[in-house]
Structure 1
Amino acid sequence: MSNAASPVRPSRTDRFLGAVERLGNRLPEPFTLFLILFLVIALVSTFMALAGVTVQVPGAEEVTEIQGLFTPEGMTWFTQNIGANYIGFPPLLTVLTIWLAVGVAEKTGLLAAGVRAVFGSAPRWALPYAVGFVGVLGSVMSDSAFIVIPPLAALVFRAAGRHPVAGLLGGFAAAGAGYSTNIAVTSLDALFAGITTAVTEILPNPGDPVNPLSNWYFNVVAAVMLSVLAGFLIDRVLEPRLVRQGVPVEEARLADTVVPDDEPPVTADLTATERRGLTFATGSLLLVAAVLAVAFVLPGSPWRNEDGGFLPESPLLGSITFVIFVLFMVPGVVYGIVTRSVTSMKDVPRLLEQSVKDMAGFLVLAFVLGQFIALFNWSGVGQWIAVAGAEGLESSGLTGYGAIIGFLALASLLNLFIISGSSLWTIMAAVFVPMFALIGYEPGFVQAAFRVGDSATQIITPLNPYMIVLLTFLRRWEPKAGLGSVIARLLPFTVAFWLVWAAILSVFFFLDLPIGPGNGIFLE
């Protein structure tokens, strides 16, 4: 009788995840994806134009004729506007400006020092909640959060006698599943707002202006709730399960592990210089914030609107990009001066150049994104899809809360395949912002709803490149760990975050609460 072990039949979950990975790997990278979509819209618009298709947008006085790219008018439009389509892509105006300042704050070490300071000051019992708080708010560092926060969380967990893998996975889960929300206004808010604004140009009633603050009330509530939820899951679900599984608390010593001799050890503790730098940076932040607040609230301030207020529109709301830029740039430079990462004025442009280099991928992708959005709007295909979709929703009866939940589910599903939030929102906003506007929903609210689906599921898809980085960290403790180990441990965060986040959105919806300054839920 053979002693060989029988092959284990893959579970339904394993087969499903394998199918998702195979399907996702067939998707082209974002630049190629949007190039294909651009060509699809070009062909579809041309056929519709030749067929004489028109669309009547509710509220518009004139009928819109579909225009095709591969027509004399379309080709001359494209050749004359290819540069304007790129430079006029709204996210470029805000994201690049904000990222310059965020990049300086990151590269001088200010953001990492702030993260370590929050971790180091938390008592042992509160560490999971500190990790949850810093993780959810880590989107201020953009994708750097996925690399900086998990290993630091593992360090402080180990130093406190808790399971380091719980800190590692919990930090990643909080940073990824809560990526689209934050107490602070980040470059992501500017990016989403820019894409939404570009789409609303085709609407006869664009609703409340969408800016980086449009979802702030909703974001603050969600960030606080999800931070607490992340801490609870780390403390009560993740860490106990790791203990039951017998996951080692000490790093394995691998034979092929090579540590450079000149690489300084990573520590969660701040040096005296770093603490002094953080103190001065915090002081400069408070000083700048106070100066700006006084300038804005003084009677007769030029940042008030004609009525003397700030809502719904005012120079203050139009200056949000400047405010965010200054609040990151000044503390970042001050921290660099104190810690000697900035020793002369020439270091500042050097850091700014490094920030632009980090944005090179986005700058390239923005070229094709700008062409896609411009063609989608100019051709009239967007209006046609929106009207047809709205009529379909109305005929099916899905024009209320059910439509919102369906939208969340679709965004969550697509997020398994398209990890880039800007790429996914560019696709979905072009269709759903006009569609929902035609049945009475503010573009800013649709953008807020998208945030739920954009983040919750990205920590369980093998298509997330940072999953591989996390797996590399995890194998320091579990050399044989695979993606299945990561996905199984992060799945509770995805489910809980999605349900709680959707519940928060539901409260705002049913109570008709403003989701941000001057931004409501229903079009008037």
Structure 2
Amino acid sequence: MTSSAVSRRSFTDRFLNGVERVGNKLPEPFMLFLILFGITAVVSTAMAWGNVTVQVPGSDEITRIRGLFTAEGLTWLTQNLGPNYLGFPPLVTVLPILLAVGVAEKSGLLAAMIRKAFGSAPRWALPYAVGVVGVLGSIMSDAAFVVIPPLAALVFKAAGRHPVAGLLGGFAAAGAGYSTNLLVTSLDALFAGITTAVTETLPNAGSPVTPVSNYFFNVVSSLVLMVISGFIIDKVLEPRLNRQGISRDEVANDDDAPATAAADLKAELDPRETKALRWAMITGVVLAAAIAVSVTIPGSPWRNEEGAFLPDSPLLGSIVFIVFTMFVVPGLVYGKLVGTIASGKDVPRVMGQAIRDMAGFLVLAFILGQFIALFNWSGIGQWIAVAGAGGLEAIGLTGYPAILGFILLASLLNLFIISGSAMWTLMAAVFVPLFVLLGYEPAFIQGAFRVGDSATQVITPLNPYMIVLLAMLRKYEPAAGLGTLIARMLPFVVPFWLAWVAILSVFFFFEIPMGPGNGIYLPASE
């Protein structure tokens, strides 16, 4: 190894060690938002004692900052602790979708769809199949990080290609494309709920933000990222692994067995699974057709008073029901045919498993709800938004450069705050009101956040699934470390980030709607 290579490796190691040290000093998300709640409580009280007020531009109303540690604030908290939690908007949308996804996942339907996609792909197309399955894998939430990589490695090896390329490529596609999908997922509901919680107190905040508010943007992003991830696996990652002489065969190591348990799944479906998947897909198509007919017939009750679907209608308000049905019914059909759901009593069981898997989020949602509620009630959010918007206007940074700066900040924070819901709660409370004052739709800002939220999470040592992936990689490369993983993920991160920003730029400059009823600018700015 040359001295320059040693120097570069030393620099990389020092940088990664520094990132890990800084990140490890951050509290867990629950404690982080508990601290932020306390800071907000103290600051709001000081501002209330100082009689600070704020006036939103375009409004005649002057808002007085209210403090938590006042008689008014303390009675507000004691009366609203429960409502602040149960009224946290993401719970209303996320929980029903989680129950539905739980049925589809625990019945085996989602895994069967992934295995079918892998097994039917020709050898040359395998990298692109991994890209498709990886990006779509976010529908399985965090399970995608455990299921997709070993399956991709298995299929690559069976086709005579390098299994490590499938392993790492599957993880990269699932992680770097985590915030987008061709389908509506629980993440769409989660982000929309957080955005809605912030915009509830904002005047003239534009169209309501729903789980489909970023759908058009997500579809384009998904298709582009699928192709890019497949190209990188095929043209960059696998050739480099071959040049480095990385082993194609697993090295036995009992200590890593739990981490590779998902590899016990076979890539090919057996006849019973194939039949069940076929009937589940037929059921899904019939359901979709029935929904389409019911909403398109003249006089449909799912239209608004003008007979249209936009900007607001019962159809948009029924998105959670539609997603719920499209997961539950095909999942039940598949589970019944393969035997994973034998009777009606198994349905609440698998739903319960899905909720247990999300217990950490339900606990985190308690403090997130309190933080958002205090931020809105105190008026600090409006004050920061007005002050921030005025500052940006003073330096002339109000156009697209401000959006790019916001995305870059999200990408950097994503190295330290892995939870997307926690980070969006933090950023939305400040930046959604700020950008609303600058004339942007909340749904557009939410879409911009998604770009920064995904791309960098596959290179941070704080991502717990990096450790799981490392255990899988060491089956082939025992000496591999986190630096090895990060170095092999970087070729995905930069193109993903640049491509996603380019897509957002097209939507921005051509003013293409981000989703049904949600554009780029607020109507008053047009």
- Work out whether the TM-score is over 0.5: yes
The residue type equivalent to 2:435 in the other structure is: F
Secondary structure of the corresponding residue to residue 417 of structure 1: coil
Give the equivalent residue in structure 2 for 1:431. Answer: 430
The residue type equivalent to 2:216 in the other structure is: Y
Secondary structure of the corresponding residue to residue 399 of structure 1: coil
Secondary structure of the corresponding residue to residue 64 of structure 1: strand
Give the equivalent residue in structure 2 for 1:186. Answer: 185
Give the equivalent residue in structure 2 for 1:296. Answer: 295
Contact 1:59-1:204 at 8 Å conserved across structures: no
* Aligned mates of 1:264, 1:190 — CA distance in 2: 31
- The answer to whether structure 1 residue 388 and structure 2 residue 387 are counterparts is yes
Secondary structure of the corresponding residue to residue 267 of structure 1: coil
Give the equivalent residue in structure 1 for 2:358. Answer: 359
* Aligned mates of 2:479, 2:281 — CA distance in 1: 43
* Aligned mates of 1:107, 1:214 — CA distance in 2: 28
TM-superposed deviation, 1:265: 3.8
Give the equivalent residue in structure 2 for 1:467. Answer: 466
Contact 1:38-1:372 at 8 Å conserved across structures: yes
The residue type equivalent to 1:205 in the other structure is: N
Per-residue CA deviation, residues 267-324 of structure 1 (Å, 9 max, x unaligned), is 1111111111101110111111111111111110100000001000000000000000
Contact 1:25-1:463 at 8 Å conserved across structures: yes
Give the equivalent residue in structure 2 for 1:447. Answer: 446
TM-superposed deviation, 1:157: 0.3
- The answer to whether structure 1 residue 201 and structure 2 residue 183 are counterparts is no
Secondary structure of the corresponding residue to residue 512 of structure 1: coil
TM-superposed deviation, 1:13: 2.2
What residue ranges of structure 2 are gaps of 5+ in the alignment? none
Structure-2 change in CA distance of 1:50 and 1:182 (3 Å): same
* Aligned mates of 2:466, 2:254 — CA distance in 1: 24
The range that moved more, 492-501 or 355-364, is: 355-364
TM-superposed deviation, 1:356: 1.3
Q: How many residues align?
A: 518
Give the equivalent residue in structure 1 for 2:98. Answer: 99
Give the equivalent residue in structure 2 for 1:505. Answer: 504
The residue type equivalent to 2:99 in the other structure is: L
* Aligned mates of 2:257, 2:403 — CA distance in 1: 51
Secondary structure of the corresponding residue to residue 180 of structure 2: coil
Per-residue CA deviation, residues 140-182 of structure 1 (Å, 9 max, x unaligned), is 1111110110000000000000000000000000000000011
Matches within 5 A, 1:68-79: 68-79=67-78
- State the percentage of identical aligned residues: 69
Give the equivalent residue in structure 1 for 2:39. Answer: 40
* Aligned mates of 2:159, 2:486 — CA distance in 1: 26
Give the equivalent residue in structure 2 for 1:126. Answer: 125
Contact 1:106-1:112 at 8 Å conserved across structures: yes
Per-residue CA deviation, residues 191-248 of structure 1 (Å, 9 max, x unaligned), is 0000001111121111011101100011000000000000000000000000111100
| RMSD, aligned α-carbons | 1.6
* Aligned mates of 1:318, 1:104 — CA distance in 2: 23
TM-superposed deviation, 1:259: 8.4
TM-superposed deviation, 1:60: 2.1
* Aligned mates of 1:8, 1:451 — CA distance in 2: 36
Secondary structure of the corresponding residue to residue 477 of structure 1: coil
TM-superposed deviation, 1:11: 2.6
What residue ranges of structure 1 are gaps of 5+ in the alignment? none
The residue type equivalent to 1:110 in the other structure is: L
The residue type equivalent to 1:318 in the other structure is: G
Per-residue CA deviation, residues 465-522 of structure 1 (Å, 9 max, x unaligned), is 0000000100110011100000000001010100000000001111111111111001
Contact 1:136-1:227 at 8 Å conserved across structures: yes
Give the equivalent residue in structure 2 for 1:171. Answer: 170
Per-residue CA deviation, residues 338-392 of structure 1 (Å, 9 max, x unaligned), is 0011111111111111111112111100000000000000000000010111011
TM-superposed deviation, 1:59: 2.2
Contact 2:281-2:330 at 8 Å conserved across structures: yes
The residue type equivalent to 1:321 in the other structure is: V
Give the equivalent residue in structure 2 for 1:398. Answer: 397
Contact 2:150-2:262 at 8 Å conserved across structures: no
TM-superposed deviation, 1:333: 0.7
Contact 2:303-2:314 at 8 Å conserved across structures: yes
Contact 1:89-1:366 at 8 Å conserved across structures: yes
* Aligned mates of 1:256, 1:345 — CA distance in 2: 39
